[in-house]
Amino acid sequence: MDSPSSQGSKLKRPKQFLTPWQIYFTEELHKLKEVNPDVTLNVAHFSHEAGKRYAALSEEERAPYIERSQALKKEYQVKLEEWKSNLTPEDIREENVFRAMQRRLGKSRRANMKDPNAPKRPSSAYFIFLRELRNNPALAEEVLHGEQDATKISVLAAAKWREYTEDTKRPYIEKANQERAEYDKQMRAYSEMKKGGHDGDHTHPCGDASHTLSVPTLPSHPNSYP
């Protein structure tokens, strides 16, 4: 029987959207193929020259590529959320077994997947206080005095929390206990669901290239080509 490391990941995540530069690069590659389908491509040289041309584009010339990339990003995000919602606990368990094996073999550093269907961990009393601080302008003014710096905000909030008496903290503690009880309830149901559950396409965006035109991996950013 094959080991998890030899089988590979079974999950086929939606294909990542193209950046504006990658869309431009793909079009340049198509143009070259149309003009001379039998050309033997020097990948490094072609990428370098395309990168320089892209860097020279005006904002107006880049705008269509940016708009198309943003549209692709929205489509990707919808597909990604749909993909996540369809994952079963067994899918995630098998993927995490595979990732753990890859880490042990030194082939990957990818962390385990988090189950999007798992109950959200409850907040502590202090984090509930911080949440109220964000949503209550009067409390924010009392504690922060209009401070905008993130580091100073953290210091002021922590200092105010330390000043609170047990009576002042009690509503936050009670809310935290309620969240913990609800979380425990949801986790029991989730664990039962998991027990019950136990009893890709990586086509290049340029399409099919001829055997004489080797399609390179799309450069991630044109700044690689000064």
Predicted local confidence at residue 42, as pLDDT: 85
Predicted local confidence at residue 217, as pLDDT: 53
Q: Say yes or no to pLDDT of 208 above 70.
A: no
Q: Say yes or no to pLDDT of 10 above 90.
A: no
Task: Give me the chain's average pLDDT, please.
Answer: 83
Domain around 80:
20-86
Predicted local confidence at residue 167, as pLDDT: 96
Q: Is residue 99 part of a domain?
A: yes
Provide the pLDDT confidence category of residue 87 given band limits of 50, 70 and 90. confident
Residues 53 and 112 in one domain: no
State the average pLDDT over residues 188-213. 53
Residues 71 and 49 in one domain: yes
Provide the pLDDT confidence category of residue 204 given band limits of 50, 70 and 90. very low
State the average pLDDT over residues 77-91. 87
Residues 81 and 104 in one domain: no
Q: Is residue 220 part of a domain?
A: no
Q: Is residue 9 part of a domain?
A: no
Q: What percent of the chain has pLDDT over 90?
A: 52
Please write down the HEC assignment for all residues of the chain.
CCCHHHHCCCCCCCCCCCCHHHHHHHHHHHHHHHHCCCCCCCHHHHHHHHHHHHHCCCHHHHHHHHHHHHHHHHHHHHHHHHHHHCCCHHHHHHHHHHHHHHHHCCCCCCCCCCCCCCCCCCCCHHHHHHHHHHHCHHHHHHHHCCCCCHHHHHHHHHHHHHHCCHHHHHHHHHHHHHHHHHHHHHHHHHHHHHHHHHCCCCCCCCCCCCCCCCCCCCCCCHHHCC
Q: How many domains does the chain have?
A: 3
Predicted local confidence at residue 86, as pLDDT: 85
